Copies of this chain bind each other. A is one copy, B any other.
Amino acid sequence: MSESDTVAAALDEELVDAVPESAIDEEDRLRPEFVDRVLDAVEAGDDATARELVEPLHPADVADLIELAANDERDGLVRALAEIVDADVLAEMNEHVRETLLDALGPDAVAKIAGELETDDAVAIIEDLEEDEQRAVLSAMEPDDRAAVEEALTYPEESAGRLMQRDLIAVPEHWTVGQVIDYLRSTEDLPTDFWEVFVVAPNHHPTGTCKLSTILRTPRTVQVRDIMISEQTLIPVDMDQEDVALRFQKYALVSAAVIDSSGRLVGMVTVDDVVHIIQEEAGEDVLLLSGAGEEGDINEPVMESYRNRVRWLITNLGTALVASTVISLFEGAIEQMVVLAVLMPIVAGVGGNAGTQALAVTVRALATNQLTGSNRWRAVGREMRVALLNGVTVAALLGVGVAVVFANPLLGGVIAAAMLTNILVAGTVGSLVPLTLERWEIDPAVGSSVFVTMMTDSMGFLIFLGLAVASGLV
Contact = CB atoms under 8 A, between A and B. Distances in A.
A463 to B, nearest CB: 15
Interface string A361-399: 111110111111111001100100110011001100110
Q: Is the interface of A mostly helix, strand, loop or mixed?
A: helix
A291 B349 contact: no
A45 interface: no
A266 B238 CA distance: 42
Nearest to A380: B298
Interface in A138-179: none
Given A254-B271, A375-B70, A346 B363 contact: no
A96 B378 CA distance: 16
Given A60-B251, A338-B331, A321 B298 contact: no
Contact of A217 (B185, B343, B363): B185
Q: Which of A323, A331, A342 has the most CB of B within 10 A?
A: A342
A58 interface: yes
A341 interface: yes
A70 B377 CA distance: 11
A360 B290 contact: yes
Contact of A285 (B195, B286, B359): B286
A290 B357 contact: yes
A350 B297 contact: no
A215 interface: yes
A285 B343 CA distance: 31
A254 B195 contact: yes
Number of copies: 2
A246 B394 contact: no
Nearest to A275: B249
Given A335-B335, A345-B320, A349-B320, A94 B394 contact: no
Given A251-B58, A296-B360, A297-B365, A317 B350 contact: yes
Interface stretch (A2-10, A12-20, A106-114, A276-284): A276-284
Interface of A: 26-32, 35-36, 58, 60, 64, 67-68, 70, 94, 181, 184-185, 190, 192-195, 211-213, 215-219, 231, 239, 243, 246-254, 271-272, 274-276, 278-280, 282-283, 285-287, 289-292, 296-299, 302-303, 305-306, 309-310, 312-314, 316-317, 320-321, 323-324, 327-328, 331, 334-335, 338-339, 341-346, 348-350, 353-354, 356-365, 367-375, 378-379, 382, 385-386, 389-390, 393-394, 397-398, 423, 450, 453, 457, 461
29 contacts: A28-B246, A28-B250, A28-B369, A29-B369, A31-B373, A32-B372, A35-B372, A67-B375, A68-B372, A181-B216, A195-B254, A212-B212, A249-B279, A274-B275, A283-B283, A290-B360, A290-B361, A296-B360, A297-B364, A297-B370, A298-B365, A302-B382, A302-B389, A312-B353, A312-B357, A313-B354, A313-B393, A324-B346, A345-B457
A-B pairs, 10 with minimum CB distance:
A282-B282, A32-B373, A290-B360, A341-B341, A252-B272, A286-B286, A212-B212, A292-B357, A306-B389, A282-B283
Given A287-B361, A298-B370, A331-B342, 13 more contacts: A26-B243, A278-B279, A279-B279, A291-B357, A296-B364, A297-B364, A305-B382, A310-B389, A310-B393, A323-B349, A324-B345, A328-B342, A353-B453
